[in-house]
């Protein structure tokens, strides 16, 4: 208890004296704006607080909404989850259910896939774009992704290749959407009457739609099944949405805060990779340390410096609040998407084996990690038999040393 109190006192001192963080950086030889791998051990702070792996894990689960207070039911809970996590990843694999729905099922009482459709198409409270991968994102974050859309034509070899092949078609596709309203790929036919090309087996119109989407001219208005329906961005963005363009520092601070708010204690590499479009965020983390908004800590068993929001320090001492219910996590769940972090905090070595040749799979094609209280205790390979309305258990593997008790089996 004394350790935690000392940590809170040091955080309070940092907030009163932002220069302290700058002194720590200078003593470590880190210049302002420098982008090292990040902060060497000396820069963590003089005599940094060490927290146990159990404490780090507990706070991480709370920040990931997998323990602590329950979310609201239904659509409100789904939106609250997306806002708190920063995104939920979209994936086409549909062995059980699509990844974005699995992530929300794991957190939101009474969630159904229709709630996400409403948030996208009716409420316009979320939008689709690339973050960690293709994701549903809070609409309020749109302005921070707009610079990535604007720079996409300069950054993407794919875009340049498609522009050479189908660039002239993009203007005609955009005109049709402008004149006719929301359109999906099924609403287009190749004007040349040719068959699909070999390149990704895409129709030229679909390639043009993707070009216009990635550079920000179009957004996803809704989905018909899993088919995207596109509309002009200005017709999708809700009235009153803040669109002021952030400068580089503001964007970096946004992404650093987003990662820390969702992850809890995180190494610099975790912060950089939580939202991959963010780039290297070491300078932003350094500035958060300087102002006292972030705090450096050590996590027991790791030689990596870790960082957390100062506002989360009080949560270190909170008792366990993980529910006595088994949760199955999507392979693309935010809580485990950083595989090396999952190993570091949970001792759980996870690989999604659908990308592994069948003969080399150890556990199964689409194994879901099993979360029980504050531990990842196993993995289960499930498959939906939709014809017979059954869920098939292909395989079940518990971690070494875990023995299911009556509470687990209840």
pLDDT in tens, 366-405: 999 999 999 999 999 999 999 999 999 999 999 999 999 9
The pair of structure tokens assigned to 337 is 């998407």
Comparing C-alpha atoms, which of 267, 254, 258 is closest to residue 56?
A: 267
- Tell me how crowded residue 252 is: count the other CB atoms within 10 A of its CB: 21
Type and span of the H or E element at 371: strand 367-372
3-class secondary structure, 143: helix
Q: What is the pTM of this model?
A: 0.85
Provide Rg for the chain, Cα atoms: 23
Answer whether 48's CB lies under 8 Å from 317's CB: no
For residues 63 and 188, what is the distance between their CA atoms, to the nearest angstrom? Answer: 43
- Helix 74-85 × helix 248-263 angle, to 10°: 120
Tens of pLDDT along the chain (410 residues) come to: 555 555 445 544 444 444 444 443 343 333 333 333 333 333 444 446 899 999 999 999 999 999 988 899 999 999 999 999 999 999 999 999 999 999 999 999 999 999 999 999 999 999 999 999 999 999 999 999 999 999 999 999 999 998 888 888 899 999 999 999 999 988 886 555 554 443 333 478 889 999 999 999 999 999 998 899 999 999 999 999 999 999 999 999 999 999 999 999 999 999 999 999 999 999 999 999 999 999 999 999 999 999 999 999 988 878 777 678 899 999 999 999 999 999 999 999 999 999 999 999 999 999 999 999 999 999 999 999 999 999 999 999 999 999 999 999 98
For residues 172 and 265, what is the distance between their CA atoms, to the nearest angstrom? Answer: 49
Query: 5-21: per-residue pLDDT in tens?
Result: 554 455 444 444 444 44
Report CA-CA distances (Å) from 125 to 23, 137, 171, 212: 42, 9, 29, 21
The pair of structure tokens assigned to 148 is 């990535």
Answer whether 60's CB lies under 8 Å from 262's CB: no
User: What is the DSSP-derived secondary structure letter of residue 264?
Assistant: S
Answer whether 327's CB lies under 8 Å from 336's CB: no
Report CA-CA distances (Å) from 160 to 3, 68, 72, 201, 301: 56, 47, 44, 18, 46
* Helix %, strand %, coil % of the chain (to 5): 45, 15, 35
């Amino acid at each position: 208890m004394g350790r935690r109190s000392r940590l809170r006192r040091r955080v309070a001192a940092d907030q009163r004296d932002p220069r302290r963080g700058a002194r720590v950086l200078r003593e470590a030889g880190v210049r302002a704006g420098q982008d090292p791998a990040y902060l060497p051990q000396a820069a963590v702070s003089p005599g940094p607080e060490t927290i146990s792996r159990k404490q780090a894990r507990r706070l991480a689960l709370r920040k990931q909404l997998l323990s602590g207070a329950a979310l609201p039911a239904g659509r409100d809970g789904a939106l609250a989850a997306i806002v708190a996590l920063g995104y939920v990843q979209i994936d086409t694999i549909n062995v059980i259910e699509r990844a974005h729905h699995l992530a929300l099922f794991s957190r939101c009482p009474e969630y159904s896939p229709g709630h996400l459709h409403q948030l996208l198409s009716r409420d316009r409270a979320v939008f689709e774009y690339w973050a960690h991968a293709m994701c549903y994102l809070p609409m309020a974050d749109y302005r921070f992704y707009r610079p990535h859309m604007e720079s996409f034509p300069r950054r993407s070899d794919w875009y340049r290749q498609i522009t050479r092949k189908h660039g002239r078609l993009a203007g005609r596709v955009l005109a049709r959407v402008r004149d006719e309203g929301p359109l999906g790929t099924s609403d287009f036919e190749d004007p040349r009457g040719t068959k699909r090309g070999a390149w990704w087996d895409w129709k030229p119109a679909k390639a043009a739609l993707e070009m216009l989407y990635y550079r920000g001219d179009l957004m996803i208005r809704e989905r018909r099944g899993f088919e995207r329906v596109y509309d002009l961005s200005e017709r999708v963005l809700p009235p009153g949405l803040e669109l002021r363009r952030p400068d580089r520092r503001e964007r970096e601070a946004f992404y650093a805060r987003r990662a820390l708010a969702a992850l809890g204690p995180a190494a610099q590499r975790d912060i950089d990779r939580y939202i991959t479009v963010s780039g290297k965020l070491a300078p932003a983390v350094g500035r958060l340390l300087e102002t006292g908004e972030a705090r450096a800590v050590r996590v027991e068993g790791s030689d990596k410096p870790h960082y957390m929001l100062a506002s989360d320090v009080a949560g270190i001492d909170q008792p366990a609040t993980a529910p006595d219910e088994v949760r199955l996590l999507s392979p693309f769940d935010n809580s485990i998407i950083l595989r090396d972090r999952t190993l570091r905090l949970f001792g759980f070595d996870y690989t999604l084996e659908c990308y592994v040749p069948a003969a080399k799979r150890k556990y199964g094609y689409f194994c879901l990690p099993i979360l029980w209280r504050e531990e990842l205790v196993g993995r289960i390979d499930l498959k939906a038999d939709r014809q017979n309305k059954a869920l098939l258990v292909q395989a079940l593997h518990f971690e070494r040393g875990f023995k299911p008790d009556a509470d687990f089996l209840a």
